[in-house]
Each structure stands twice: as structure tokens, then as C-alpha cells.
Amino acid sequence: MLLAKSQVEEDLKQLKKTLVDKHPKPFLFISEKTFDDKISEIQKTTNDSQKLGIIVKRLLAKIRDSHTCINYSSEIFGIDSYPLKVKYIKDGYYIVGTSKKHKELLGGKLLSINDIGISNVENTLKPFVSQENVTSLKYYTPSIMVDPVFLNFSKITKNRSMKVNVDVKGRKTEHIVLIEDGDIELMEVPENGELEETLKYKDKYWDMIYPRNNLFFFKYNECSENKDYPIKNVIQNYKKSSMDIFVIDLRRNKGGDSYVVKDLIDYLTNSQSQIFVLTGKDTYSSGIVNLMEFSSIPRTTTVGEIPHGTPTHFGETYKFELKNSKIRVQTSTKLFEFEGYKLGDVFKPNFIIEDNIEDLKKGVDTQMRFVFKKIS
């Protein structure tokens, strides 16, 4: 959608005013003068909503707060996507999801896009990523790597296709991937769909017992109460189980209401249970708050990957829409602080056990296998 210069100016004024009014420290990592200079530059060079959205995303990344960002909308950015799901795993970017047409790439290591080495691709896309901590770049870049809007804008691609070079089981292969509807269903690793039980999502949260290991497993995917199975029932079932080891899995928990598990935290604090907390790259926001609370309980061991969320962080978002371009934006309104952690400091588990592509392809739970070995 084309915009008049006055409309762009009005939207940018609204953007800055809202950030100043709502965000605790919008100019902590970028000076207000630099921010204003960037806005002036945008006003001179931008006259359509999509380009404005791209450049505002790049500008907001300089605030270094991943809660303050553009909210993706198909009206602005379209629905097209490359039919690949990419994830950074240990030593590189791997293809962990594809359309059936490209299933032979599943589990392969991405080496280049249009003959541009993957490290250079990462560096080119870096300005669009909020550098909140050391994990941010490799966590957020994969989604931009398959977005034709940002790839074309960054001149990595020029049209509706891209050439990828992939290492599949030691064999380098080249493929042309065409843009498809972003809603297309992708095949994901493991290709046979067989996951170990503890990796299955199932619901907001669920639990199971491993009697042979004297272990109660609680998978907490979302900080949100399940009315059909409230947290008080989880506590009751744990009591009935007579298990001595309690495992809380926060690996896929990206937040919500951190108070949902307050009673569980209180119960475990006053118990004599041996506790393991599993962390993952996805652990974020209220998931991080709960991670800090669970990990402060005596007899607790943390296992897994360094989360992309940080203990001391901005959050509690306010959402708004720019008047003329209809670009959806959100900003943090609060600073959450944890003693011993500055902004940007990450939580490091007691045992850093990273995912690896071979286990992912087999549906093996790397972190839980470590726990089982630890308690045996």
C-alpha cells in the first residue's frame, strides 16, 4: 500500500510517542538522537507500507528488546514463504522441516543461499534481529532465512526462488526452492514422526510417571491454566504417585502468566523432592520467570540449553497499530529484574546439554536421557 509522505511521518511520530510513553528504557542501547536521525531517514526514503514495516523492524531491533517488535501480519508482509523450517543446532543451521517436494533435504545442514555462504547470510540478516543476548541471533535468524520479503529486501534473493546448498549425510546437494503459500504443511524431523514420549507437546501441560526411575515428569509448555486439569490436580497426582524425583520441562515454554504454577513452586519448596528443571532455546518470558523460581528451590538441578530469554528482561507488552500503514507493533511496558543478572545476561543450566541433529532425526530426547543416566 502506497503512503503519502505525511502519512509516513504521522506513523513514525506515533511510533516514537508510544515507545516513549510505554517502554521503560527505549533509548538504553540506541540514543534518542540516533533514533530520531533514523526516523528522518525513513521519512525521506519510504513510501509504502511493506517497506516501512521492514525498516521499522530493523529500527526496533536496535532497542535490543525482543518483546518490542513488529507483529507479523499477512496484510503487510503477505503469506508467501519458502517451504523450509530452519533451526540452529549446535554447529550450524539445519533444515528441520520441508514440504514433501524437498523431503530429501530434511535433517541437512544449510551451507549457502544463492551461493552466499550461510555465515554471510546470517551477517546480512543480523540488523533485523534484536540482540538481546548471545543466543538471540541464532535463535531468530532462521525464520528470516525463509522469508522472501526480507531475503529480497536484503538482496540475498531477487525473485520467487532461491538456490540452497545443503550437506545431507556428508553429501553436498544443490536445490532450487520455490516460494509457496506460508500455510503449507511441512514434514518435520523425525521423518517417521516417532518421538520419545517426553518430547510430545500434547497440551498446555501434562504429566506422567516413570515408576522404575522413581520419577514424576511434568511437561509445562505454556504458562496458562488448563481448566480441565488445574495445577492443584498436578500436585495431588504427584503426592499420590509417591515418586521422589520431580522433573519440570520448560523447554518449549514461551510464557504467559507466571503465577499459574505458584502453588506448585510453594509445594516443591517445602518438600524433600529431588528436582530437575529442563531448559531449551525456546524458554522465554514468563517461562524464564518460572525457571528462576523453580531453580531457586533447594535440591534443584537444571539441565538443557541456554534459553533465548533472559532473567532480567523487558516485558508485559502493549500492542498498537500505526494509523496509516496499519503496521502492528508491540512494546514492553515493564522491566523485570532478577538479582545477579544484568540485561543481556543469560541463564546457564548446571549441565548444558545441547540438542544434536542425529538425536532429533531419531526422535530421541537428549536431555531426558541425560537425566535418566544421572539418577541411575
Cβ 358 vs Cβ 369: under 8 Å: no
Whether 191 has a pLDDT exceeding 80, the answer reads: no
Average pLDDT over residues 140-166: 96
Q: CA-to-CA distance for 32 and 30, rounded, in angstroms?
A: 7
Three cell numbers, residue 296: 531457586
Measured distance CA(27)–CA(65) in Å, rounded: 11
According to the model, what pLDDT value does residue 263 have?
98
Q: What's 126's DSSP letter?
A: G
Give me the pLDDT at residue 193, please.
80
Write the CB contacts of 79 (distance below 8 Å, at least 6 apart in sequence). 181, 182, 183
| Dihedral sign for Cα atoms in the order 196, 199, 204, 210 | positive
Which residue matches cell numbers 488445574? 230
Contact (Cβ atoms closer than 8 angstroms) between residue 174 and residue 159: no
CATH architecture of structural domain 80-188: Roll (2.30)
Q: Which fold would CATH assign to domain 1-71+315-333?
A: Transcription Regulator spoIIAA (3.30.750)
Q: Residue 164's closest CA among 152, 153, 154, 173? A: 173
**Average of pLDDT values for 340-347?**
96
- Rounded CA gap, 265 and 144, in Å? 37
Domain extents in the chain: 1-71+315-333, 80-188, 197-309+346-375
Which cell numbers in the block locate residue 309? Answer: 530469554
Class of CATH domain 197-309+346-375:
alpha beta
For residues 106 and 250, give the distance between their C-alpha atoms in angstroms, rounded to a whole number: 26
Residue 243 pLDDT level (bands cut at 50, 70, 90): very high
Identical topology for domains 1-71+315-333 and 197-309+346-375 = no
Mean pLDDT over each residue of the chain, to the nearest integer: 96
Place 18 in a pLDDT band, splitting at 50, 70 and 90: very high
- Identify whether the C-beta of residue 99 lies closer than 8 Å to the C-beta of residue 109: no
Q: Quick one: what percent of the chain has pLDDT higher than 90? A: 96
Burial class (CB in 10 A: 0-12, 13-18, 19+), 44: exposed
HEC string of 255-286 equals CECHHHHHHHHHHHHCCCCEEEEEECCCCCCH
In this prediction the pTM is: 0.94
Residues 158-164: what's their mean pLDDT? 95
What pLDDT was estimated at residue 278? 98
Q: List the one residue out of 138, 135, 140, 141 whose CA is nearest residue 306.
A: 135
The better pLDDT of the pair 111, 72 is held by 111
> Tell me: the pLDDT tens digits for 113-131?
999 999 999 999 999 999 9
Query: How confident is the model at residue 182, as a pLDDT?
Result: 76
